[in-house]
Homo-oligomer: A and B are copies of this chain.
Amino acid sequence: MILFVDMDEVIADTYGAHIELYNAEFNGELTTELCSGSEVWRMVPEAHQDSVRKHATRRGFFRNLKIIPGSQDVLEQLSRKHEVYIASAAMQFPNSLEEKSEWLDEHFPFIPWQNRILCGHKHVLKGDILIDDRNYNLENFDGRGLQFTSPHNVNTQGFERVNTWFEIGEKLL
């Protein structure tokens, strides 16, 4: 079985990093719960939105992300049985390419470079399962799509949903 796993919001906590950076710089009180159903940048005053939208272009942003709980353990087990690929849209931020690679080396060393894909469109991927948080990736994937719950997609309907890596483990292991 060939399995593609998105990076941001699925194994790497970009959402949490946006909130943390915003609160630190603007003395904000955003929380994941407050942002539920929306993107972080939409939840801040208009004057601050541009700053939030540019977080991802900062050096170090992708290198220091926290790991989504359970992802290491479940992916390590899955990768023993299946062909597991990390599929991320890093080409949007060229500065992130090396950081994402180093982050994977540190936290997911059992997924070798051959199994890491950076791409903008996921409809060109051919495999059995895609675990992703974004509707547009899941809609265009020609296989079984699992929507990983992230604050921005809690109200989305129509995809097979997984809330945690423990649920993924139960479904796929």
Contact = CB atoms under 8 A, between A and B. Distances in A.
Copies of this chain present in the complex amount to 2
Given A91-B101, A94-B97, A117 B113 contact: no
B117 A124 contact: yes
A114 B123 CA distance: 11
A22 interface: no
A122 to B, nearest CB: 10
A119 interface: yes
A102 B93 CA distance: 11
Interface string A94-137: 11011001100000000011111111110111110000000000
Contact of A119 (B2, B102, B118, B120): B118
Interface residues of A, number: 28
Interface string A130-166: 0000000000001000000000000000000000000
A127 B137 CA distance: 17
Chain A residues touching B, majority SS = mixed
Interface in A7-21: none
Contact of A102 (B94, B116, B118, B127): B94
B126 A120 contact: no
A92 interface: yes
A117 B95 CA distance: 15
A144 to B, nearest CB: 15
B124 A120 contact: no
Interface of A: 2, 4, 85, 90-92, 94-95, 97-98, 101-102, 112-121, 123-127, 142
